[in-house]
Structure 1
Amino acid sequence: MTTATKETVQSTVSTSLKKQLEMVDRRDGKLALAYIYIAFIAVLLGGIAGLLQVLVRAGTLQLPSFLNYYQVLTVHGVLLGLVLTTFFIMGFQTAAVSRTSGTFTNKQRTIGWIGFWIATIGLVAAAAMILTNEASVLYTFYAPLQAHWVFYLGLALVIVGSWFTGLAQIMRFVQWKKEHKGQSTPLLSFMVVVNNFLWYVATLGVAIEVLFQLIPWSMGLVERVDVLLSRTLFWYFGHALVYFWLLPAYMIWYTIIPKIIGGKVFSDALAKLTFMLFLILSVPVGIHHQYTEPGIDPLWKFIQAVLTFFVVVPSLMTAFSMFATFELRGRELGAKGVFGWFKKLPWNDSRFLLPFIGMVAFIPGGAGGIVNASYQMNELIHNTIWVTGHFHLTVASAVALTFFGTAFWLIPHLNGRTLTKRANSMANCAGILWAIGMTIMSSAMHIAGLLGAPRRSDYSTYGGSEQAAEWLSYQIAQAVGGSILFIAILVITGLVIYVGFFAPKGEEDFPIAEVAPGAAKTPAAIENFKLWGVIMIAVIIFAYTIPIIDIISNSPLGAKGFRLW
């Protein structure tokens, strides 16, 4: 064998080994795919429920006798707000950790599968209660609305299942740290662990509410629950839930989008600091959802309003980092002028286009969030459909489109297929349809909310009132936008089936960007989970201890001895 031939063989072997190391292990991929497929079943069924909602509100559809509006609303909220997000996140994070920290051990993978089956069993139980009209509670855990105890237990199992799978991801990350002492941790795996810690801390509130209040109450073991305490525990969880949805989208924006456009991660340190700030600031802000509720001292409402505005800081850091990445890449490609880089972005690549549309949607969504969190302006839009429009820009656009754009390459990567040019074009069409439909529907929701249209309501119950007549044109616009969104959901569902089962066999990349060569080294303090954990606990204790003591001590129920019921 000649020297040239040996070098060629060695190069081929080296390339093959590198490619193998960049692939998620098929055993880990099966767990990730199991979660992701259920997530997209939820997209289709939740989309059908959403379409029914907007058609009923517009007065163009009457539901059959075996369905009611609030039952459909609960299906939509649970499937898209809880199931799509939790299941996709667990699937994506499993693949992300396997890709960046190495293949799971058999023990770790088994723990992940235990979590999957616990969550799936819980989902089936909760779904059965909704379908039998035993749990039409508008998807929240909000007393005095009461569901069958099986519904609460089912959704609790979904959360417990996610705890197990999240634990497997953390275990693999810890193993990597032990194997690579002194090295900076992989950015994507680090972000996954931060999000899991956020999830564990946030879900403690709803776990306490469900286990000690709602289940005993719904089983008839106690006559009443303290409604204010119940809602406070829910919103301790409820606003952090938004960041549990959002942070995986940020993971994709920070670590994957730069690779797709041919660039680098702007700063490893900035990205990790951003996530640590979200960890400490996401939980102690839930009372800003309770501005109109009596029983909470206005001082603590104001304090949590201030804490809520601090969350703007890591969001702005993310915007700076992303647009710096875009501009630097554009300059490398020869872009001139202030916005010349914009033309250099890969607009025909669905892996980029769909998340980018989500980023753009997050700008007005974030502005609306500032209104929601403002102590005074919230009075105007509280419990109106403005809030629903806000959620559809943030979760249903920024998060959902990023998840969709990721799924179209992640699914074929995990099952050994490829994203074809035609599938890529169809994905772009789905993203554009989503943008059009959501612009129409969400704009109508925001305007109707300013006119006082309530959220979570079937407007037909208002009869021929002047209010209902004033809202009618915006209800019709919502129906038009919702119909376009449903067409997009059909395209997305078809694409998931195609890339999952019918696309050509091959190898699809799992793109992970490298850190820019000139970026500063990440300080060890930023990766110190103990330090940030202590800060997080301290902030939560400060924000919630006195309000909860006040609620319990001033409640006729709590005065009997700090009982939760």
Structure 2
Amino acid sequence: MRSTTEKMKVDPRDAKLSMAHFYVAFIALALGGLAGLLQVLVRSGNFQLPAPITYYQVLTVHGVLLGLVLTTFFIIGFQFAAMSRTAGTLSNGARKSGWLGFWLMTIGTAMAAAMVLLNKASVLFTFYAPLQAHPIFYGGLTLVVVGSWIGGGAMLTSYVRWRKQNPGKVSPLLSFMVVVNMLLWLVATIGVAATVLLQMLPWSLGLVDTIDVLISRTLFWYFGHPLVYFWLLPAYMCWYVIIPRIIGGKIFSDSLARMSFILFLLFSIPVGFHHQLTEPGIDPAWKFLQVALTFLVVIPSLMTAFSLFGTFEMYGRQKGAKGLFGWLKMLPWGDARFTVPFIGMVTFIPAGAGGMVNASHQMNQVVHNTIWVTGHFHLTLATAVILTFFGISYWLIPHLTGRVLTKKMNKLALIQGCLWAIGMIFMSGAMHAAGLLGAPRRSSFSTYGGSAQATEWIPYQIAQAVGGTILFVAIILVLIIFINLAFFAPKGEQEFPVGEAAETAEKTPLIFENWKLWLGVTVVLILFAYTIPLIDMIQNAPPGQKGFKLW
């Protein structure tokens, strides 16, 4: 007997809001994927871009569209649907705020994209100073961030409304997770908003001659590392809440899921210095502290792995599985809604191990600024996260459009997931190997084409091109499936699967809903990790910059 919650659907008005975000996200996937293909072909040394397109222009298009636009629009669209499904239909005010946020983000994206295409903002997706872009690029980024704040505010108001209507009750798990992720985003984007508005934009407009690059990079990485978890937590939402329902099992522990999300909120923000281990001007003691805090994120990651595989094993045992790994045979491998995200889960194991290397105070010196980092990035975001996003879209898009995932599209989705895994083995594997040989990050083949060391990298660059080509084929398949599910699939009812906690799981304590406590601890950790280092940077700023504070 299904519960009332399981019968709920996303309101059609809210579905239109979510779909608007998905349209932008998949357009970004198409254009960013093409730029990625061109990039790896250039790196192979056997392809030249037609004039006047430049390598770093293509590199910026790829990073901005896939790393920022695709992810942000998909996540916000998914989270609006999740809130509507579990906390109830959005209020008219929240929906209007959602649309306002969407249009601000879309206009900002168009502004930034125009400058990149005009080759006036080839500053990569990290836009580090002293690289400088056109003011319209920075203005566009500002609109994207502000739009996301407005959309996030609409989600938070929906959660607050649910709490008022259900006093003393534990909120739906999926809604709780959305709130954690949006709070993480709102706190983290303060850093990038500060550097763009107070440093980059005045500098680009010519209002100041110089900016403090160290403070700029510090503010960016205050945002840049939690950005990774803003990408990752929606995938965790799927793994924790959606996958158990798809396989016909139960959530291993509601409390464990909430605790892991709270720990991500606490430990993901005050750790940006581990991206700046080779930079002068930061006391090594503060770098070491933030490295230690970085490794604390391993705890919720291991909690997640334990919970997920506990869910799989419980399900398998209920089906009569025997032996240590007999439950694996019981999982629905023919269902793309499960298999595609599962590939992402498995990929996160080596991705997490590589992340520990990057965060290490010592081992980072071996791989810093090499293409190893790019390979790691493609295992985490471009495989673990993006494959899970694809898996979500295979049931969420038809749910929102009133259609169904057919057997034909399901089979095509399975092929797409396998192609993605094969392509990433070639590309990311070659990047990791070349990085250990010292191959630089973000440089084209022509930069080092004549050196003996560059010759050593050639086989790995060719493997990257092979992998990138396979990945582009997989992107084409994803786009075919998306268009079919949005416009051409048969009309019908596609479930928005939301799992329930196992009957044997412990009762969830209300302390997880104490946001004053968790936000208070988060602020204390941030102040502890950043206050003294930022004061040191300002006091020891280069001559001519001390009076400007931030610039």
Relative to the length of structure 1, the TM-score reads 0.96
One-letter code of the match for 1:329?
Answer: Y
* Cα distance in 2, alignment partners of residues 32 and 50 from structure 1: 26
* Cα distance in 2, alignment partners of residues 373 and 108 from structure 1: 39
Q: How far has the Cα of 1:556 moved from its partner?
A: 2.4
Q: How far has the Cα of 1:463 moved from its partner?
A: 2.7
Once the two structures are superposed, the pairs formed by residues 93-108 of structure 1 within 5 Å of their partners are: 93-108=79-94
The yes-or-no answer on 1:443 pairing with 2:429 is yes
* Cα distance in 2, alignment partners of residues 413 and 558 from structure 1: 58
One-letter code of the match for 1:46?
Answer: G
Residue of 163, 169, 176 corresponding to 1:183: 169
* Cα distance in 2, alignment partners of residues 558 and 179 from structure 1: 56
Hey, what does 1:144 align to over in structure 2? 130
Hey, what does 2:59 align to over in structure 1? 73
Q: CA RMSD in A?
A: 1.2
Hey, what does 1:113 align to over in structure 2? 99
Residue of 370, 373, 381 corresponding to 1:387: 373
Q: Please state whether the residue corresponding to 1:561 is helix, strand or coil.
A: helix
2:540–2:546 CA contact under 8 A, matched in 1 = no
Hey, what does 2:414 align to over in structure 1? 428
Hey, what does 1:472 align to over in structure 2? 458
Hey, what does 1:134 align to over in structure 2? 120
Q: How far has the Cα of 1:156 moved from its partner?
A: 1.6
Q: How far has the Cα of 1:560 moved from its partner?
A: 3.2
- The change in CA–CA distance for 1:558 and 1:503 in structure 2 (over 3 A counts) is farther
Q: Please state whether the residue corresponding to 1:284 is helix, strand or coil.
A: coil
Question: Which moved further from structure 2: 134-143 or 359-368?
Answer: 134-143
Count of residues in Structure 1 that have an aligned counterpart in Structure 2: 551
Q: How far has the Cα of 1:141 moved from its partner?
A: 2.7
Which of structure 1's runs of 4+ aligned residues deviate more than 2 A? 17-21, 556-562
The yes-or-no answer on 1:454 pairing with 2:448 is no
Hey, what does 2:498 align to over in structure 1? 512
Q: How far has the Cα of 1:561 moved from its partner?
A: 3.1
Q: How far has the Cα of 1:21 moved from its partner?
A: 4.7
The yes-or-no answer on 1:198 pairing with 2:151 is no
* Cα distance in 2, alignment partners of residues 391 and 556 from structure 1: 33
Q: How far has the Cα of 1:361 moved from its partner?
A: 0.5
Hey, what does 1:167 align to over in structure 2? 153
* Cα distance in 1, alignment partners of residues 166 and 30 from structure 2: 43
- The change in CA–CA distance for 1:564 and 1:409 in structure 2 (over 3 A counts) is same
2:6–2:497 CA contact under 8 A, matched in 1 = no
1:300–1:547 CA contact under 8 A, matched in 2 = yes
Hey, what does 2:75 align to over in structure 1? 89
Q: How far has the Cα of 1:444 moved from its partner?
A: 0.2
Q: How far has the Cα of 1:518 moved from its partner?
A: 1.1
Q: How far has the Cα of 1:194 moved from its partner?
A: 0.4
Q: Please state whether the residue corresponding to 2:138 is helix, strand or coil.
A: helix
One-letter code of the match for 1:185?
Answer: S
Hey, what does 2:267 align to over in structure 1? 281
* Cα distance in 2, alignment partners of residues 18 and 197 from structure 1: 29
1:445–1:474 CA contact under 8 A, matched in 2 = yes
Hey, what does 1:501 align to over in structure 2? 487
Gaps of 5+ in 2: none
* Cα distance in 2, alignment partners of residues 557 and 564 from structure 1: 13
* Cα distance in 1, alignment partners of residues 423 and 514 from structure 2: 43
Once the two structures are superposed, the pairs formed by residues 302-341 of structure 1 within 5 Å of their partners are: 302-341=288-327
Hey, what does 2:527 align to over in structure 1? 541
The yes-or-no answer on 1:267 pairing with 2:253 is yes
Deviations 1:491-516 (A, max 9, x none): 00000000000000011000000111
One-letter code of the match for 1:506?
Answer: G
1:272–1:527 CA contact under 8 A, matched in 2 = no
2:198–2:550 CA contact under 8 A, matched in 1 = yes
Q: How far has the Cα of 1:20 moved from its partner?
A: 9.1
- The change in CA–CA distance for 1:30 and 1:20 in structure 2 (over 3 A counts) is farther
1:141–1:234 CA contact under 8 A, matched in 2 = no
Q: Please state whether the residue corresponding to 2:129 is helix, strand or coil.
A: coil
Q: How far has the Cα of 1:19 moved from its partner?
A: 8.7
1:35–1:91 CA contact under 8 A, matched in 2 = yes
Hey, what does 1:373 align to over in structure 2? 359
* Cα distance in 2, alignment partners of residues 293 and 438 from structure 1: 31
The yes-or-no answer on 1:232 pairing with 2:218 is yes
Once the two structures are superposed, the pairs formed by residues 348-359 of structure 1 within 5 Å of their partners are: 348-359=334-345
1:387–1:455 CA contact under 8 A, matched in 2 = yes
Hey, what does 2:48 align to over in structure 1? 62
Relative to the length of structure 2, the TM-score reads 0.99
Q: How far has the Cα of 1:441 moved from its partner?
A: 0.4
Q: Please state whether the residue corresponding to 2:238 is helix, strand or coil.
A: helix
One-letter code of the match for 1:128?
Answer: A
Deviations 1:283-322 (A, max 9, x none): 0000000000000000000000000000100000000000
1:32–1:94 CA contact under 8 A, matched in 2 = yes
2:211–2:545 CA contact under 8 A, matched in 1 = no
One-letter code of the match for 1:193?
Answer: V
